């Protein structure tokens, strides 16, 4: 499914045939975490093919930003209970800071009426700023623990080292 097609790029839902490139983009972009996130949470590859397959099987749907016939960035969306999660947002390291993340986020946001939540590493200051610049706000530490347990399946150690950001629909339900 193509959501947006400009003259030089398109944003489309990824298919099974994109698996290898999604895997490559995630593990290339995730190099930014090395030396920043807690050492016991860092590994190479950051996300194994098995973990990626598991995420897709659990309902994460990836969307991709494609230019010159190649995916340059991906972002996942997962509907869980009464909310939607933005999962695994990664733009190839040589394509970051050019507005690709912003375009992907804007398409994904438009695809759900539910409140949106995003979990990321507390030490990934650039990612927190990126989401804050798009109107997301950090929830309190207590709320973060509760939300990560309710909507995500992550180990306790990761909960400690994470933050959760939410959009205005979460803070001001209709």
Ligand X SMILES: CC(C)(COP(=O)(O)OP(=O)(O)OC[C@H]1O[C@@H](n2cnc3c(N)ncnc32)[C@H](O)[C@@H]1OP(=O)(O)O)[C@@H](O)C(=O)NCCC(=O)NCCS
* Residue 75: both structure tokens together: 């972002």
From residue 7 to residue 46, what is the string marking binding to ligand X with x (rule CB under 6 A)?
A: ----------------------xx-x--------------
Least CB distance from residue 174 to ligand X, whole Å?
26
> How many residues touch ligand X (CB under 6 A)?
21
Q: Which is nearer to ligand X, 111 or 129 (CB)?
A: 129
Contacts of 167 (CB under 8 A, 6+ apart): 109, 115, 116, 117, 135, 136
* Residue 148: both structure tokens together: 């990560």
CA–CA dist 11, 107 (Å, integer): 8
Which 87-146 residues touch ligand X, going by CB under 6 A?
89-91, 96-102, 120, 124, 126-127, 129-130, 133
Tabulate helix, strand, coil % of the chain (nearest 5): 40, 30, 30
The secondary structure element, H or E, covering residue 90 is: strand 83-91
Which 143-162 residues touch ligand X, going by CB under 6 A?
none
Residues that bind ligand X (CB under 6 A): 29-30, 32, 73, 89-91, 96-102, 120, 124, 126-127, 129-130, 133
């Amino acid at each position: 499914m193509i959501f947006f097609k400009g003259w030089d790029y398109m944003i489309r839902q990824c298919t099974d045939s994109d698996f290898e490139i999604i895997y490559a983009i995630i593990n290339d972009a995730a190099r930014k975490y090395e030396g920043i996130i807690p050492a016991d949470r860092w590994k190479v590859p950051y996300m194994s093919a098995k973990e990626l397959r598991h995420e897709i099987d659990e309902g994460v749907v990836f969307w991709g930003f494609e230019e010159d016939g190649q995916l340059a960035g991906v972002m996942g969306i997962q509907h869980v209970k009464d909310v939607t999660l933005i999962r695994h947002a990664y733009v190839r390291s040589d394509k970051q800071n050019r507005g690709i993340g912003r375009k992907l986020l804007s398409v994904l946001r438009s695809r759900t009426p539910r409140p949106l939540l995003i979990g990321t590493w507390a030490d990934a200051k650039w990612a927190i700023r990126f989401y804050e610049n798009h109107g997301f706000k950090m929830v309190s530490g207590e709320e973060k623990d509760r939300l990560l347990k309710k909507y995500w399946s992550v180990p306790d150690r990761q909960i400690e080292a994470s933050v959760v950001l939410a959009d205005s629909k979460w803070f001001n339900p209709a």
